[in-house]
A and B are shown apart, each in its own frame.
Chain A
């Protein structure tokens, strides 16, 4: 039973309102790119919108949701208030101020740099200051999560940390490692240039530092979905988690392997040699292992639930599952989208094969499926699941929840399957408009319109989601206020190995792997005369 309900709800509402607005931007962007004529069709407007959409989805929705859900998990699973609630409010307002600065910069048209803000193109200084504030606030959250777990372990020596909390702290620890790259890039490369202290920048170094952050950040976003798979879905299905140990191991492996792999985003870059690209490709292959282990463990948990409900035979347990439960339905849809998104990801990571798809609509399709599909649909399900214990009321009707989840999954597939196809045809990324009179491009038009249709369905789903969560005095108050409980394991652990009850060992391993994977690739920029490029401010700001 969380103590700081208002704190949690404040985080979740910021996340979801910004998310809904960004869905609207996304639809308009696809409209502009399509052969249909759209309002406000100008490149400056388009890139302003893409920057807003990316920042909102990648930084605001995720960070606020993860912080809010983390506070919920800490207080619910450890049955204790977070260590410093006032500090948590302080970091909330800091992050919100950061969002206001960054979004304000974008709205004023002085930050059309997209959410990846690759130098030497630069935006107004306030864009970066806002982002730094969000990151600093998230570090305070990391500290709270780590301190909450440490307090639990001190109070109950030898007792296993609940899996939901172990996973949350794994994410907090990973996030501290993850943000190091982009923070160094902003503080030591971008800000000195934007403030006019220097007029040049080492672009190879900045891309490498950003890649340090760029893959692990995706796992930061992904963790809540996996936490829901392991610790919420089994109970919602009427069963238990098949293996608590495999859950811990998977989360520890995510912490380990999601970091030394960021250079797979730089396979097509000229500033790194094949050797280090190959090393990071091999490590990237290893990060697929915890996901494939999860596929099995969650399938087995669902099978256990299905059999407890009387399901028989090799596949009969699937039909016996309570698909009317939004958490169960969302888990099924999330894994369906993971098949396509993960499959695309396998192709992206396959070294030379990356040349076939790099910077095409294929990549956009891949991360919309994995993040927008698999991850965000679980954000919805988590919100539905915990809403009664936060507000005392159910989030909308069961039918409205199911409709919303189905619309999201269908919309996402309709939007991204054409993108995959177009990417293979060579449709490149980040384009404000296509010249459909060019015969080499004309055939893409109808598929772009189909994906726009998917986007409209997604927007409808997003609005229905907000409507489901909105406070309604007509909804019956649930008495007594329901308490939330995470799933138990088939065999709840009495004790677990120390390595799977803390992160000391994993931090040492991360440090070693990062030194191997990023040591030389970073050091090379400090040898000889690393070339420097002139800063290109995108606007007067």
Chain B
């Protein structure tokens, strides 16, 4: 057994290791680029809210849910995920304009995605899940509950109605709902 043969093996393994580290580094760089330059991050505002008194909270009482244009022009939709429905079941949002989605649940773990977009978050009792995004396409997008929340899980879904900017007309109270359309 020649030691040089074993050295040759170690050398070729090291050469391959360099290739592997380069490949993994490339992926890391692309991911950091997406996060920093393209603003694509996991939704991570750590904001606590008591699930047992959610319906009494200032923000998530039933009359305050849905889409609202704030005084500063920011568009925010507030949605409660509960076994086995979203409240409201349909929200209207403008295309090509920054919007914020805020979710909370009084009961169990839910989750949402909006088909065809990167909008995706878990909805965990005890926390407000918040997603900032800009919708680029218009139409009725599907927003299902994507985490098992009980036997009615399959029925739990909502619609995100993305309308052209000019068709997005809030009422005098700053609110827009699917019934208006």
Write the residues of chain A forming the contact surface with B, with a CB cutoff of 8 angstroms.
43-44, 47, 112, 114, 118, 120-121, 200, 202-204, 207, 242-243, 245-246, 266-274, 277-278, 281-282, 285-286, 288-289, 292-293, 296-297, 300, 346, 350-356, 358-360, 425-426, 428-434, 438, 440-441, 490-491, 524, 528-534, 536, 538
B124 and A203: CB pair below 8 A?
yes
Q: Write out the residue numbers on chain B whose beta carbons fall within 8 Å of the beta carbon of A490.
A: 5, 9
Closest B residue to A45 by beta carbon equals B151
| Residue from the list A270, A289, A296, A356 in contact with B24, Cβ < 8 A | A289
A531 and B24: CB pair below 8 A?
no
> Which residues of B from 2 to 56 have beta carbons under 8 Å from A?
5-6, 9-10, 12-13, 16-17, 20-21, 23-24, 27-28, 30-31, 34-35, 38, 40-52
B149 and A121: CB pair below 8 A?
yes
B120 and A202: CB pair below 8 A?
no
A351 and B35: CB pair below 8 A?
yes
> Which residues of B from 97 to 137 have beta carbons under 8 Å from A?
107-109, 111, 113-116, 118-130
B13 and A297: CB pair below 8 A?
yes
Do A355 and B146 form a contact, CB below 8 Å, given A243-B9, A245-B10, A491-B1?
Answer: no
Q: List 6 A-B residue pairs with CB atoms under 8 Å apart, sorted by A's residue number.
A: A246-B13, A278-B35, A351-B34, A429-B146, A531-B49, A533-B51
A433 and B154: CB pair below 8 A?
yes
Q: Write out the residue numbers on chain A whose beta carbons fall within 8 Å of the beta carbon of B83.
A: 536
Counting chain A CB atoms within 10 Å of each CB, which of B1, B34, B126, B128 scores highest? B126
A358 and B6: CB pair below 8 A?
no
Counting chain A CB atoms within 10 Å of each CB, which of B108, B130, B153 scores highest? B108
Q: Could you tell me the distance in whole angstroms from the C-beta of B73 to the nearest C-beta in chain A?
A: 25
B40 and A352: CB pair below 8 A?
yes
B108 and A268: CB pair below 8 A?
no
> Which residues of B from 144 to 166 have beta carbons under 8 Å from A?
144-154
Q: Write out the residue numbers on chain A whose beta carbons fall within 8 Å of the beta carbon of B6.
A: 491
Q: Write out the residue numbers on chain B whose beta carbons fall within 8 Å of the beta carbon of A296.
A: 13, 16, 20
Q: Could you tell me the distance in whole angstroms from the C-beta of B43 to the nearest C-beta in chain A?
A: 7
> Which residues of B from 62 to 116 have beta carbons under 8 Å from A?
83, 107-109, 111, 113-116
A426 and B42: CB pair below 8 A?
no
For residue B142, CB closer than 8 A to chain A, the reply is: yes
Q: Could you tell me the distance in whole angstroms from the C-beta of B35 to the nearest C-beta in chain A?
A: 6
Do A292 and B23 form a contact, CB below 8 Å, given A432-B154, A531-B127?
Answer: yes
Q: Write out the residue numbers on chain A whose beta carbons fall within 8 Å of the beta carbon of B48.
A: 528-531
Closest A residue to B47 by beta carbon equals A270
Count contacts on B: residues with CB < 8 A to the other chain.
68
B24 and A288: CB pair below 8 A?
yes
Q: Write out the residue numbers on chain A whose beta carbons fall within 8 Å of the beta carbon of B125.
A: 120, 203, 531, 533
Q: Could you tell me the distance in whole angstroms from the C-beta of A100 to the nearest C-beta in chain B?
A: 25
Cα A529 to Cα B50 in complex, Å, equals 9
Q: Could you tell me the distance in whole angstroms from the C-beta of B106 to the nearest C-beta in chain A?
A: 8
Q: Could you tell me the distance in whole angstroms from the C-beta of B114 to the nearest C-beta in chain A?
A: 8
Cα A432 to Cα B84 in complex, Å, equals 14
Q: Write out the residue numbers on chain B whose beta carbons fall within 8 Å of the beta carbon of A530.
A: 48, 126
B108 and A430: CB pair below 8 A?
no
B24 and A268: CB pair below 8 A?
no
Q: Write out the residue numbers on chain B whose beta carbons fall within 8 Å of the beta carbon of A524.
A: 46
Q: Write out the residue numbers on chain B whose beta carbons fall within 8 Å of the beta carbon of A112.
A: 151
Q: Could you tell me the distance in whole angstroms from the C-beta of B145 to the nearest C-beta in chain A?
A: 8
A285 and B24: CB pair below 8 A?
yes
Q: Write out the residue numbers on chain A whose beta carbons fall within 8 Å of the beta carbon of B124.
A: 203-204, 207, 269-271
Q: Write out the residue numbers on chain A whose beta carbons fall within 8 Å of the beta carbon of B12.
A: 300
Q: Write out the residue numbers on chain B whose beta carbons fall within 8 Å of the beta carbon of A293.
A: 13, 16-17, 20
| Residue from the list A243, A273, A536 in contact with B46, Cβ < 8 A | A273
**Prevailing SS type, chain A contact patch:** mixed
Counting chain B CB atoms within 10 Å of each CB, which of A270, A532, A538 scores highest? A270
Q: Could you tell me the distance in whole angstroms from the C-beta of A275 to the nearest C-beta in chain B?
A: 9
Q: Write out the residue numbers on chain B whose beta carbons fall within 8 Å of the beta carbon of A286.
A: 24
Q: Write out the residue numbers on chain B whose beta carbons fall within 8 Å of the beta carbon of A246.
A: 13
A243 and B13: CB pair below 8 A?
yes
Q: Could you tell me the distance in whole angstroms from the C-beta of B137 to the nearest C-beta in chain A?
A: 13
| Residue from the list B1, B40, B116, B130 in contact with A355, Cβ < 8 A | B40
Closest A residue to B48 by beta carbon equals A531
Q: Write out the residue numbers on chain A whose beta carbons fall within 8 Å of the beta carbon of B38.
A: 352
Cα A426 to Cα B142 in complex, Å, equals 9
Cα A207 to Cα B42 in complex, Å, equals 17
Closest B residue to A202 by beta carbon equals B126
Do A269 and B122 form a contact, CB below 8 Å, given A352-B34, A440-B115?
Answer: yes
Q: Write out the residue numbers on chain A whose beta carbons fall within 8 Å of the beta carbon of B120.
A: 268, 354-356, 358-359
Cα A273 to Cα B48 in complex, Å, equals 12
A359 and B142: CB pair below 8 A?
no
A426 and B148: CB pair below 8 A?
no
Q: Could you tell me the distance in whole angstroms from the C-beta of B105 to the nearest C-beta in chain A?
A: 8
Cα A112 to Cα B127 in complex, Å, equals 25
Not counting A47-B151, A268-B120, A346-B27, a sample of 5 additional A-B residue pairs whose C-beta atoms are within 8 angstroms of each other reads A204-B126, A207-B109, A268-B121, A293-B20, A351-B42
A355 and B118: CB pair below 8 A?
yes
Do A352 and B127 form a contact, CB below 8 Å, given A47-B148, A293-B20, A426-B115?
Answer: no
B44 and A270: CB pair below 8 A?
yes
A536 and B150: CB pair below 8 A?
yes
| Residue from the list B45, B52, B146 in contact with A428, Cβ < 8 A | B146
Q: Could you tell me the distance in whole angstroms from the C-beta of B161 to the nearest C-beta in chain A?
A: 12
A432 and B153: CB pair below 8 A?
yes
Do A120 and B108 form a contact, CB below 8 Å, given A270-B122, A289-B20, A533-B126?
Answer: yes
| Residue from the list A200, A267, A282, A534 in contact with B42, Cβ < 8 A | A267
Cα A312 to Cα B84 in complex, Å, equals 63
Q: Could you tell me the distance in whole angstroms from the C-beta of A50 to the nearest C-beta in chain B?
A: 8
Q: Could you tell me the distance in whole angstroms from the C-beta of A274 to the nearest C-beta in chain B?
A: 4
Do A538 and B13 form a contact, CB below 8 Å, given A356-B118, A358-B113?
Answer: no
B44 and A272: CB pair below 8 A?
yes
Cα A324 to Cα B150 in complex, Å, equals 48
Cα A292 to Cα B26 in complex, Å, equals 15
Closest A residue to B9 by beta carbon equals A243
Q: Could you tell me the distance in whole angstroms from the C-beta of A331 to the nearest C-beta in chain B?
A: 19
B27 and A274: CB pair below 8 A?
no
Q: Write out the residue numbers on chain A whose beta carbons fall within 8 Å of the beta carbon of B50.
A: 531
B5 and A491: CB pair below 8 A?
yes
Q: Write out the residue numbers on chain B whose beta carbons fall within 8 Å of the beta carbon of A277.
A: 42, 44
